[in-house]
Amino acid sequence: MELDEMKRAWAHMDLRQDGMEALLRQGFRDRRMDKARGAMRWSLLGQAVEIACWVAFVVFVASFWVVHRQVTHLLLVGLLLHAYGIAGIWSGATQLFLLSRIYLFDAPVLVLQRRLAQLRRFRMVSTLALGLPWWFLWLLVPLVVLTWWSGVDLFAGAPGWIWACMAVGVAGTGFSLWLARRLAGRAMWSPWLQRVVDDMSGRTLARVSRQLDEIARFERD
Amino acid sequence: MIVGQHQRHFVALLREHRGIVFKVAGLYSRSVADREDLVQEIGTQLWRSFGRYDAARGKFSTWMYRIALNVAISQARRWREADRLEPLEMHHLETVGGGESIREQDERLAALHAFIGQLDALNRALILLYLEDRSYAEMAEILGISETNVATKLGRIKQKLRGQMAGAATTGA
């Protein structure tokens, strides 16, 4: 059979459309359509609020290390957190930009699918880059806050304990990545956990790369 | 335009072009439940984007194909990643054919769907537009590739189909 014959067969196909119309009417009746519009606005607003929080964090950390610039370890911790905050702003702003390019879904198929894959890859990488450091930040952030509010320098008081916690952080980071690789491919009871494992084990990245390759091939060949 | 009028205008256009939503949803889903989800998802996204639709920039059907295909391809990817996407097979035809058994329908449709089932999401979109008798220019506009590329790809698909038919005939003989 030739493709043209298939086209004739397709044209004669009996399509039942009444069910679809009912579904769409139901969408308006339940106000699901309006809610969807609202949800997208909230998503963009949420992203903007996230950026504002990161900016506030950077301002706070900057004021901290400027005040404590004479104390080397406090200056270093402040600068590290400052860099972390700037990474957060960059991540939030980039995601906002990428989201704004896709949310209408009306771009040509290849363009939109590529943008979706890029957003997914960026989200995955930035979540990992901003999430894994919390093996260390859980200690550094309270250290800075405590010093700022009460003047008590935890590091000066108990440097051994701080270094021990940092060592635990290094081990914890390695263990997280090892565990994610071990669990990769297994079905998880929670979709959220499944996503975390897929992101940390590199499975998501591999999928997105395949998707981008497929798009590039389709465009090129 | 006030909200009520805007919505009525949208519903009228949607009714006129409803076949697009239905066929796209049918081609990328594997069960009636999936198809219903996809129809609603496409309808929601169309309504969400309708405020920015500009008739002067292109036909409504072109705009609708873009959104419907984008939603369907994204959803199909999520199903695939959740190990839920199966090849388009006989049971799928029941969703496209309105619930009737495929055996009661034209056997050419069975062959057509078996063939489409082997294609990836992007080639599936291309073949759908071809079957819907869209011009090369419109296919190119919807997919975001050149007309030459459209022609080349369709040529390859035809070649592949001929090869399969010849193979099937040899096996059958």
| Sequential DSSP letters for chain B | --HHHHHHHHHHHHHHTHHHHHHHHHHH-SSHHHHHHHHHHHHHHHHHHHTT--GGGS-HHHHHHHHHHHHHHHHHHHHHHTT------HHHHHHHTTT--GGGS-HHHHHHHHHHTTS-HHHHHHHHHHHTT--HHHHHHHHTS-HHHHHHHHHHHHHHHHHHHHHHHHHH-
Of the partner residues A11, A36, A211, the one whose CB lies closest to the CB of residue B48: A36
For B35-63, b/e burial (b = at least 16 CB within 10 A) is bbbbbbbbbbbbbbbbeebeeeeeeebbb
Query: pLDDT above 90 covers what percent of chain B?
Result: 31
pLDDT band at A4 (very low <50, low <70, confident <90, very high): confident
- Return the number of other C-beta atoms located less than 10 Å from residue A125's C-beta: 15
Total beta-carbon pairs less than 8 A apart between chain A and chain B: 156
A1 pLDDT higher than 70: no
Contact A13 B109 (CB under 8 A): yes
Q: Where are the domains of chain B?
A: 3-172
| E-strand stretches of A4-98 | none
Return the H-helix or E-strand segment holding A198.
Answer: helix A191-201
Instruction: Of A20-24, A37-41, A189-193, B84-88, give the lowest mean pLDDT range.
Output: B84-88
Of the partner residues B67, B71, B99, the one whose CB lies closest to the CB of residue A16: B99
pTM, 2 dp: 0.81
In this predicted model, what pLDDT tens digit does every residue of A136-191 receive, in sequence order?
999 999 999 999 998 888 888 888 999 999 999 999 999 999 988 888 777 777 87
In this predicted model, what pLDDT tens digit does every residue of B88-116 receive, in sequence order?
444 444 444 444 444 545 677 777 778 88
Distance in Å, alpha carbon of A129 to nearest chain B alpha carbon: 23
Nearest residue of B to residue A39 by CA position?
A: B48
Q: Which two tokens stand for residue A93?
A: 């702003």
Q: Give dist(CA B18, CA B22) in Å, integer.
A: 6
Residue A89 backbone dihedrals phi, psi, to 5 degrees = -65, -45
Residue B86 backbone dihedrals phi, psi, to 5 degrees = -105, 165
Q: How many CA atoms lie within 13 A of B28 on its CB side?
A: 33
Contact A27 B43 (CB under 8 A): yes
Bigger pLDDT: B79 vs B150 = B150
In whole angstroms, how far apart are CA B102 and each of B52, B55, B88, B106, B109?
40, 39, 13, 8, 8
Reduced to 3 states, what is the DSSP secondary structure of residue A14?
coil
- DSSP secondary structure letter of residue A186: S
In this predicted model, what pLDDT tens digit does every residue of A5-24 receive, in sequence order?
777 777 766 555 556 667 66
CB contact B92 to A (< 8 Å): no
